[in-house]
A and B are shown apart, each in its own frame.
Chain A
Amino acid sequence: KNEVEQSPQNLTAQEGEFITINCSYSVGISALHWLQQHPGGGIVSLFMLSSGKKKHGRLIATINIQEKHSSLHITASHPRDSAVYICAVSPDLGRDDKIIFGKGTRLHILP
Chain B
Amino acid sequence: NAGVMQNPRHLVRRRGQEARLRCSPMKGHSHVYWYRQLPEEGLKFMVYLQKENIIDESGMPKERFSAEFPKEGPSILRIQQVVRGDSAAYFCASSPQRTGGFGYTFGSGTRLTVV
Residues of A within 8 A of B (CB): 29-33, 35, 40-45, 48, 50, 86, 88-93, 96-104
Contacts and interface: CB of A to CB of B under 8 A. Distances in A.
Contacts of A102: 42
Contact of A98 (B42, B48, B106, B109): B48
- Scoring B42, B93, B98, B108 by chain A CB atoms within 10 A of each residue's CB, the highest score goes to B42
A45 B104 contact: yes
A101 B99 contact: no
A97 B97 CA distance: 11
B37 to A, nearest CB: 9
Given A43-B106, A97-B48, A98-B33, 18 more contacts: A32-B101, A35-B106, A42-B109, A43-B108, A43-B109, A45-B106, A48-B101, A48-B102, A50-B101, A86-B42, A90-B100, A91-B100, A92-B100, A96-B56, A98-B48, A99-B43, A99-B104, A104-B42
B95 to A, nearest CB: 9
B58 interface: yes
Given A35-B106, A42-B108, A99 B101 contact: yes
Interface string B86-107: 0000010100001111101111
Given A42-B108, A45-B105, A98-B59, A103 B100 contact: no
Interface of B: 33, 35, 41-45, 48, 56, 58-59, 91, 93, 98-102, 104-109, 111
A90 B101 CA distance: 5
Contact of B98 (A41, A45, A97): A97
B107 A42 contact: yes
B102 A99 contact: no
A42 B109 CA distance: 6
